[in-house]
Amino acid sequence: MKHEEISENHSDPLIKELHRAIRVGIKILAVLMVFVIFWSIADVVLVLYNKLTSPPYFLLDIDDILQTFGAFLVVLIGVEIFINIRLYLGSNTFPVELVIATALMAVARKVIVLDLKLVTSEQIVGIGFVTLALGVSYWLVKHTNKDDEHH
């Protein structure tokens, strides 16, 4: 399931230059993603510091803990997106398996921080279907990639 997306070895000079321009744009995205990741880490540290240094000191309630978990997962999702970008730049192939895994992580984050008092049953069913679809997609891609390696 591997194919060249933005090859620098295209026969048409215009397409070759356009591919080169897109690769520069993707590198800019990678740099910006690193800034966003560090900004998110600083935000997590600041929020935790503020929560722990206000009365009652060194105590977090369940909502604070869930918000902290959500903030950690946002940072991890950012790291996964950066890895997607890096893999894309390194191989010229679109890392479908990793993109689906990142989407699963984002849905898992949503489920972890979900406030059941604020969502409808339809939204919960929708999240369930999205999770199931992503899980099946991940399994299919992983199985297809494993079969491709054996042939």
Q: pLDDT, tens digit, for every residue of 22-33?
A: 889 989 999 999
Report the distance separating Cα 75 and Cα 129, nearest Å: 25
Q: Is the peptide bond before 95 cis (omega within 30 degrees of 0)?
A: no
Give yes or no for a contact between 101 and 80, defined as CB atoms under 8 angstroms apart: yes
Query: Which stretch of 3-7, 66-70, 97-101, 135-139 has the lowest confidence by average pLDDT?
Result: 3-7
For 43-80, the pLDDT digits (tens) are 999 989 988 998 888 888 888 888 888 888 889 999 98
CA distance 106 to 94: 19
Average pLDDT over residues 138-151: 80
Most confident segment among 2-6, 48-52, 112-116, 129-133: 129-133
